[in-house]
Chains A and B, each alone.
Chain A
């Protein structure tokens, strides 16, 4: 399938990208193209202008000591090879080799597909999304960035420049995913970031994707674990609680209906907790 005709330009600076987005109502940024082009081929998206941001670089995956800075244009393959923990695990499990080579984390979160992996991880890690637009620079917590199905806090003339992940001493994290057998997208994905002391949970954050319209925090499950001993009974209780947390935002289809994904969120939370605390 051929996409509908459009104009194409390449920009060399973030400012230029913002100017183009401002000037053309129907313009879209083009990063790796691995969400946008499939949508354009199916004519689900018909932008009049593509603004190719490949020349911008923004590909860093760097440990800054106090935290990690991930460029918006870092590919999934680059993150899988150079980051660690849940973020690297999620990146390594995205789609397939070819998709990981060209899809970027900025494009992934801007697109906000409900079945995307990185959003759950960014929510659990307390990441901040750095954004620039005609209004200047701002940052948004990942948990406030994802608003609804394919909907984020991003304005039409804004560009994501980087993602910041704070380092938290004593924390460990993991991502557990049930992949769709054909596309490998997440039917359910759960990320856990946890700090334990003498077998007890001191602090925990949980992010869910796939089962819900957008990535969300599971605060009920977090509350169950907070201060509790990490044992089978308490993990089972948290796995019950997460199903209540997401009950109002469930997503499903004929093959994997809502109640099935809800139950699987419990199962995969258990796996993520065990992996993070192993």
Chain B
């Protein structure tokens, strides 16, 4: 089936099988491998991207469902060679160790900060429930998100 999906501002027209998951469209068709696959059960969140501005687990949507819509991936956050403030903050606050969960964590947290610019720690934790990290123990991830919400100085 023919689809036209806009990813990080550029529209890609491709012929895809209906069973192609959006995450595989990103990784294997477009070679945007920043988005990860960490599970088979829609639970880990490492595949999180934005679809029309809201957080989505891209392993739980077909590429054909995204036809005509706009996707932002981790590769689309930095602008003109400058890291996004959330990326800076993860770096600054040591919000990662192996880094596998990080693209998903950053996409999930940037999405919900757009709805709630000044979240409490509890709200940050609640909104990251769909993202699993096997390394950090979450403390620094929460700190990084909190600091980014406070304009980088938390």
Q: How large is the interface on B (under 10, 10 to 19, 20 to 34, 35 or more residues)?
A: 20 to 34
Q: Please measure, in the bound complex, the distance between the C-alpha atom of A10 and the C-alpha atom of B99, giving whole angstroms.
A: 38
Residues of chain A at interface, number, CB under 8 A:
29
Across the interface, do B42 and A97 meet the contact criterion of CB distance under 8 Å?
no
Nearest Cβ in chain B — how far from A44, in angstroms? 11
Q: Please measure, in the bound complex, the distance between the C-alpha atom of A115 and the C-alpha atom of B35, giving whole angstroms.
A: 30
Identity of the chain A residue whose Cβ is nearest the Cβ of B1 in the assembled complex? A8
Across the interface, do A97 and B108 meet the contact criterion of CB distance under 8 Å?
yes
Q: Contacts A37-B21, A50-B62, A97-B127 given; 10 further ones with Cβ under 8 A?
A: A4-B19, A5-B19, A30-B65, A33-B62, A33-B65, A95-B130, A97-B112, A97-B129, A97-B130, A98-B57
Q: A52-B65, A97-B130 are in contact. Are A6 and B60 (CB under 8 A)?
A: no
Identity of the chain A residue whose Cβ is nearest the Cβ of B57 in the assembled complex? A98
A-B CB pair tally, cutoff 8 Å: 78
Q: List A contacts of B131 (CB < 8 A).
A: 96
B145 within 8 A of A: no
Across the interface, do A96 and B45 meet the contact criterion of CB distance under 8 Å?
yes
Nearest Cβ in chain B — how far from A45, in angstroms? 12
Nearest Cβ in chain A — how far from B141, in angstroms? 14
Q: List 22 A-B contacts (CB under 8 A).
A: A2-B21, A7-B18, A8-B1, A33-B65, A34-B42, A37-B42, A37-B61, A37-B62, A95-B129, A95-B130, A97-B55, A97-B111, A97-B129, A98-B45, A98-B48, A98-B56, A98-B60, A99-B42, A99-B57, A101-B56, A102-B60, A182-B43
A38 within 8 A of B: yes
Q: Please measure, in the bound complex, the distance between the C-alpha atom of A52 and the C-alpha atom of B41, giving whole angstroms.
A: 21
Q: Please measure, in the bound complex, the distance between the C-alpha atom of A154 and the C-alpha atom of B9, giving whole angstroms.
A: 42
A184 within 8 A of B: yes
Interface on B for A, CB 8 Å cutoff? 1, 17-19, 21, 24, 40-43, 45, 48, 54-57, 59-62, 64-65, 108, 111-112, 127-131
Q: A42-B40, A101-B56 are in contact. Are A8 and B61 (CB under 8 A)?
A: no
Q: List A28-71 residues whose CB lies under 8 Å from chain B.
A: 30, 33-34, 37-38, 41-42, 50, 52, 54
Q: List B contacts of A99 (CB < 8 A).
A: 42, 57, 130
Q: Please measure, in the bound complex, the distance between the C-alpha atom of A42 and the C-alpha atom of B59, giving whole angstroms.
A: 12
Q: Please measure, in the bound complex, the distance between the C-alpha atom of A99 and the C-alpha atom of B61, giving whole angstroms.
A: 11
One of A8, A50, A98, A182 near B55 (C-beta < 8 A): A98
Interface on A for B, CB 8 Å cutoff? 1-8, 30, 33-34, 37-38, 41-42, 50, 52, 54, 77, 95-99, 101-102, 182-184
Most buried by A among B42, B48, B54, B61: B42
Q: Please measure, in the bound complex, the distance between the C-alpha atom of A23 and the C-alpha atom of B21, giving whole angstroms.
A: 26
Q: List A contacts of B62 (CB < 8 A).
A: 8, 33, 37, 50
Nearest Cβ in chain B — how far from A70, in angstroms? 20
Most buried by B among A2, A41, A95, A183: A41
Across the interface, do A54 and B65 meet the contact criterion of CB distance under 8 Å?
yes
Identity of the chain B residue whose Cβ is nearest the Cβ of A37 in the assembled complex? B60
Q: List A contacts of B61 (CB < 8 A).
A: 33, 37, 102
Nearest Cβ in chain A — how far from B111, in angstroms? 7
Q: List B contacts of A50 (CB < 8 A).
A: 18, 62
Q: List B contacts of A97 (CB < 8 A).
A: 55, 108, 111-112, 127-130
Q: List A contacts of B129 (CB < 8 A).
A: 95-97, 184
